Structure 1
Amino acid sequence: AQGRDIRMSDDRVEGYRNFMNKLYQAGRFVRMHVDDATPWELPDDLPVTDRWILSRLQRVIDEVRRGIEEYRFNEAGSAFYQFVWHEFCDWYLEMIKPSLSPETGEVERQVQRAVLIRVYETILALGHPFIPFLTEELWHALPGKRGLLYDRPYPAVDVGATDENVEEEMAHLMEVIRAVRNIRSELNVPPGRKVEARLKGQSEDLKFLRAHEEIVRRLARASLVAYVDADYIPVRDATAVVNDIEVCLPLEGLIDFGQEAKRLRKEVEKANAEYARVAGQLGNARFTANAPTDIVDALRDREAALEQKIARLGKNLELVSRYLT
């Protein structure tokens, strides 16, 4: 938060080291696919993933610029961090890999390279006030003759490149993928196993997902994406709700239900024990009156998180138990 003293923390230092390594690895990915610095004029009919990242890039440029101009450096740095790690690296780079493969047509690949290098160059320029030594080094590692990044104008917002509808549609698509991933993780589905994702909702709500099903299938590790009728009742499916869409995953053949039930019972027991300990601390009036505010707030957050975790584990245990009866 603005004006807050930050305690020295090895975990915090390690986290930012990991972030800078992420930015470096993204640079390696760019250099692996882009060997020509010739600027390309981008066509109007870009793929939805490119329109999304270019629109999100304008949003983060605006946030970072405003944060710096208003001396809210914590907010500027956080906006930059979140965009680079969680949108550019975690999502965009994964989405565009097929477009950079040799099987893709040369024109399509060249357009993809042009968007990729443009976004990465802007990221380096945007992050230069925060990590100047790293961004300058990564800048000069890119193809082509380059002057100092320090001398380049700071990125400015291009309002014409924003597309709110694409941002909303892509956010929804990513939430669906995230829901499948969460189910896989919580029920211990092996990473290499493909799942069948069944999506239940109104046809209008499913329209964008149908159009970009390949992204969902690939990033959710699904062998099949099926669109089920509104009267479909997922009695034995693991489910999650994303806005007006119900995401259903049949579990038969994916996991050992006996072993999974045993694991979940242990997790429930462990979570209940921790919850009792945290609730005991918060129920101690002397402790809450004398402990630092940030410690008490952290415990309250932990208590709320544990309540949600216990409910989620209970739901999963109930689901798995249906396969044992």
Structure 2
Amino acid sequence: RQLWWGHRIPAYYCRHCGKMVVAREMPDTCPDCGGHEFDQDPDTLDTWFSSALWPFSTLGWPKKTPEYDYFYPTDVLVTGYDIIFFWVARMIIMGMEFMKDVPFGKVFIHGLVRDDQGRKMSKSLGNGIDPLQVISEYGCDTLRFMLITGNTPGNDMRFYWSRVESTRNFANKIWNASRFALMNLEGYDEKAPRAPYVLADKWILSRLQDVAADVTGLLDRFELGEAGRTIYDFIWGEICDWYIEIAKPRLYGKETPEARATAQYVLVTVLTGAMKLLHPYMPFITEEIYQALPHDCRSIMISPWPVADPALVDKEAEKAMEAIMAAIKSIREMRAQVNAAPGKKAPATVLADASLRDVIKANEGYFQQLAAVDDLTVLPLDAAKPENAMAAVNSGVEVYLPLKGLIDVELETARLNKEKAGLEKELNRVSGKLSNQNFLAKAPAEVVAKEKAKAGEYTAKKKTIEERLAYLKTL
């Protein structure tokens, strides 16, 4: 290669006779003519030559150094499938030749990052993404997390700006949740008297153990994307969406000081554990949050990795909370379907098996706080179903929500009729297209398929609206 950098070729040419001499150092005398003036070959070896020496040339080789003793051979090499021959194989060859040992024990092969059309990024296409531009606008943690969680073993990934933005939203969610926690840790003392754990405390502590074990196992198997998605779901879907919301009354001091101390302790424990699990993916935001939380290590990166504590695993609490969350989700969805006012309270009925009825009733406060339920009735699964009520089944729990008094029947009927009319208009338009033989003959297959999908979607929505209108007539 004609480059300014790289290993220079150890070939020297006699200025007098042109004889080429290959040697470790510039020779003193030409073996042919006895001349003493030489010029070294101006070319350098290919970059893959120096890259092949990388595992040991960076450790002081050919000297025997402490760094060499510690780092060679290393454990894992991470690389793309496109340079297995150019780099991986050559490092192994050089390692075996000069070190008499392979340079690494495992090789983790990942896919390539392509543009949103699936094309390889290249200068000629002008479709490359400058990582510094992404970092400047969205942050380094966002880019890292998006790239790692978008990676699945053996597959390339497409770069979508929408995924960058959703990951930025995740970072914002973490930051805001942590700020909320810190604002409510005033007077926190880890050794202060605490009230017994409530169901939500037992559940989230148990889930932390599950997630720590799952993530560790996934990382050990190099399933980095799945591990990241597991952490994402735990932080956003469980800590933020559920535990923090449930803990708010205690954190706000609406119960006893001991109850507040318990909520604070659990929140610190869970948030700290979550930040440690997330740290390899988002090192900067997690370090910042860790330093702000009560901590016992000068940096999160050298703090102990979370290890599941079997004593905190509570499958009964997990089962009970799953049933309660499923019931609350069902009530929220039914209220949203009929446009019930957010602050409008309403009774609800839950049918569950014997193992769940008592714990659901005992935690009626969660329904009052998170689903605007003012009176919760819990019955056996074989009990008579409430009449004139919307129904949903989720995770083996039946939920019934009476609409009488919850909505304005006339207004809701008018709204649904208007929505139905709009759907019928769109359905007629699509049906007209699909009945046009000229359209079917000339339009691309994917366009025809898209119109057929629209027709099916509009038909299903119309049927749902008609069912709701029929139900409203019974109220």
Whether 2:470 is the aligned partner of 1:322: answer no
| Pairing partner for 2:216 from 65, 77, 83 | 65
CA distance in 2, matches of 1:18, 1:128: 17
Deviation for aligned residue 1:235: 3.2
In the alignment, which residue of structure 2 is the partner of 1:177? 328
Deviation for aligned residue 1:77: 0.9
Whether 2:406 is the aligned partner of 1:257: answer no
| Pairing partner for 1:221 from 361, 367, 372 | 372
**What SS does the corresponding residue of 1:322 show, helix, strand or coil?**
coil
In the alignment, which residue of structure 2 is the partner of 1:84? 235
**What SS does the corresponding residue of 1:87 show, helix, strand or coil?**
helix
Deviation for aligned residue 1:43: 7.5
After superposition, the C-alpha distances for 1:172-195 in whole angstroms (9 at most, x for unaligned) are 011111111011000000111111
CA distance in 2, matches of 1:7, 1:68: 22
In the alignment, which residue of structure 2 is the partner of 1:240? 392
> Which structure is richer in relative contact order (CA contacts within 8 A, separation 6 or more)?
1
Question: With structure 1 as the length reference, what TM-score do the two structures score?
Answer: 0.83
Partner amino acid, structure 1, of 2:386? P
Cα distance 1:149–1:111, how it changes in 2: closer, same or farther (>3 A)?
Answer: same
Deviation for aligned residue 1:92: 0.5
Report if aligned partners of 2:277, 2:305 keep a CA contact under 8 Å in 1. yes
Which runs of no fewer than 5 residues in structure 1 stay unpaired?
A: none
After superposition, the C-alpha distances for 1:119-145 in whole angstroms (9 at most, x for unaligned) are 111111110011111111111222467
**What SS does the corresponding residue of 2:473 show, helix, strand or coil?**
helix
Partner amino acid, structure 1, of 2:217? R
Whether 2:233 is the aligned partner of 1:105: answer no
Alignment of 1:86-235 (within 5 A): 86-143=237-294, 147-201=298-352, 204-227=355-378, 232-235=384-387
Deviation for aligned residue 1:6: 3.2
Deviation for aligned residue 1:107: 2.0
**What SS does the corresponding residue of 1:225 show, helix, strand or coil?**
strand
Single out whichever of 256-265 and 132-141 deviates more from structure 2: 256-265
Deviation for aligned residue 1:53: 0.3
CA distance in 1, matches of 2:215, 2:410: 50
Question: With structure 2 as the length reference, what TM-score do the two structures score?
Answer: 0.58
In the alignment, which residue of structure 1 is the partner of 2:156? 5
Cα distance 1:48–1:234, how it changes in 2: closer, same or farther (>3 A)?
Answer: closer
Report if aligned partners of 2:193, 2:258 keep a CA contact under 8 Å in 1. no
Number of aligned residue pairs: 315
Cα distance 1:92–1:34, how it changes in 2: closer, same or farther (>3 A)?
Answer: same
Cα distance 1:111–1:320, how it changes in 2: closer, same or farther (>3 A)?
Answer: same
The structure with more radius of gyration: 2
Report if aligned partners of 1:61, 1:156 keep a CA contact under 8 Å in 2. yes
Greater fraction of residues in helix? 1
Cα distance 1:305–1:177, how it changes in 2: closer, same or farther (>3 A)?
Answer: farther
Single out whichever of 149-158 and 85-94 deviates more from structure 2: 149-158
The 4+ residue runs of structure 1 with deviation greater than 6 A are 41-44, 298-308
**What SS does the corresponding residue of 1:147 show, helix, strand or coil?**
coil
Cα distance 1:233–1:275, how it changes in 2: closer, same or farther (>3 A)?
Answer: farther
**Could you say what the CA RMSD is over the residues aligned between the two structures, in angstroms?**
3.5
